[in-house]
Structures are given as structure tokens and as C-alpha cells.
Structure 1
Amino acid sequence: MPEVEHEPDYRFTLANERTVLAWLRTSLALMAAGVAVVQFVPLLGRPAVREATGLGFTVLSVVTAIAAVLRWRTVQRAMRRGRPLPGSATVWVVAAGLAATGLVVCVMMLAGP
């Protein structure tokens, strides 16, 4: 038997939408960082390390965008069914990815050209 769904309060729906848009802005910023590292920082570190760092930012961008949409859909479904909101590991994944990429950037800066 399918679960009964009810239209949630529009304020919660709009808050959920604002959240997914914030995550998508974060994804876009990560993609821009990936392009910037590869294209506009030619003297920072070895080319292979720089390209790997740019790729890391870009992969993190894709993961963030996909996770944002999946989270939005899951939260919307939970609200419609009157269920508790599910937990999410997205913040931890993005934080770990940023920390790892940030450490690589620090090493590149300290190592010089």
C-alpha cells in the first residue's frame, strides 16, 4: 500500500529549495576553483599536481551537485509523508574533500615553482 502524501507547508518546501540552491552554488564555486587552479595558477607546483588538484575540485563539484538534488528529493518526500527528515553525510564528504584538496594546495604553495 503506497504511503499517503500531503502537501507540506509551503515555507518548508521553499526552505528546502533554498537549501538545494545553496548547495548548487557551492558546486559551481568548486568547479570554478578547479578551472582556476589549472588555468590561472601556472607557476604553482608541478603541472601534474596542479591538474590533480583542479580535478579534485571538479569531482567534488559533481559530487556536491548530485548529492544536493538527491537530498532535496529525499527531504521533500519525507515532508510529504510526515516522516522525520533523514540524516546526510554530504557535509562530511564535502568537508573531507575540501580539507584534502586544501592540504594539497598548501603543499604546492610551500614547495614553490
Structure 2
Amino acid sequence: MNRPQWQRSGAEPDYRFTLANERTFLAWVRTALAVLAGGIVLDQFSAHMEPKPVLGVVAIALSLLAAGMGGFAYFRWQGNEIAMRHRSPLPSSVGIPLLSVAISCVAILLTVGLLAKLQ
């Protein structure tokens, strides 16, 4: 398989940094899979829980979040690799704050749904 042009430019980084970058990528993918699994679980159990519309919206939101995280993981890995090859600072990341806000919103929605169920 041919490597893309950006992966052939610049100096080859120390393999330890390359492997650390790949481990970070895999951690993001694992997190995305866990978020997707949460969305699937909510969808499957929403038949037995109330309010169904809230749980459906949260399940869809989790699935979309997981899809976004998968794409973000690749572009973060690519950006870090390019920066390492050109000995420039690593790019900043908006993924961590976005993930925190998204998970907080999901938690708030689920809490509101559970409180509505109790009343």
C-alpha cells in the first residue's frame, strides 16, 4: 500500500512518538466505540423505558458523536504526524472540550428524562 504524500514528507519521526500517536488514535477509536455502544444500548432499552422520545434523541446523539469522534481521531493522528515530521508544534485540539460538552449534554438529558419519569 502506498503511503500518502504527507506521510513521506519531512523527516521520519522517532518511532516511539509515532507509536504514541497511534496509541492516542486507538484510544479515541475505543472511546468512540464505547459511545456508540451506549447509543445502541439506549436504543434497545428505550422500548422498556420512558420518555421514549428523549431516549431516542440521546441514542441518535450518541451515535452521531461516535461517528464524529472516529473522523476526528484520524485527522488528529494525521495532524500530529505531519507536525512531528516537520518538527513543528503539535496542533491544538478542539476534540477534548467538544467531547466533554457533548457527554455533559447527554448526561443532563438523561437526568432530565429520569427525573421526568419519577414524577
The reply to whether TM is greater than 0.5 is: yes
CA contact (8 A) 1:44 1:109 kept: no
Match of 2:45 among 40, 59, 73: 40
- The percentage of counterpart residues that share the same residue type is 35
1:102 aligns to 2:107 (yes or no):
yes
Structure 1 residues 1-113: aligned runs within 5 Å: 5-112=10-117
Structure 1 position 95, deviation (Å): 0.6
CA contact (8 A) 2:25 2:77 kept: yes
For structure 2, which runs of at least 5 residues remain unmatched after alignment?
1-8
CA contact (8 A) 1:16 1:76 kept: yes
Measure the CA separation in 1 of the matches of 2:111 and 2:41.
16
Measure the CA separation in 1 of the matches of 2:104 and 2:112.
12
TM-score (norm 2): 0.88
CA contact (8 A) 2:46 2:56 kept: no
Structure 1 position 42, deviation (Å): 3.0
Measure the CA separation in 2 of the matches of 1:48 and 1:42.
10
For structure 1, which runs of at least 5 residues remain unmatched after alignment?
none
Q: Secondary structure at the match of 2:92?
A: coil
Structure 1 position 40, deviation (Å): 2.1
CA contact (8 A) 2:46 2:52 kept: no
Q: Secondary structure at the match of 1:112?
A: helix
Measure the CA separation in 2 of the matches of 1:101 and 1:28.
16
Structure 1 position 38, deviation (Å): 1.1
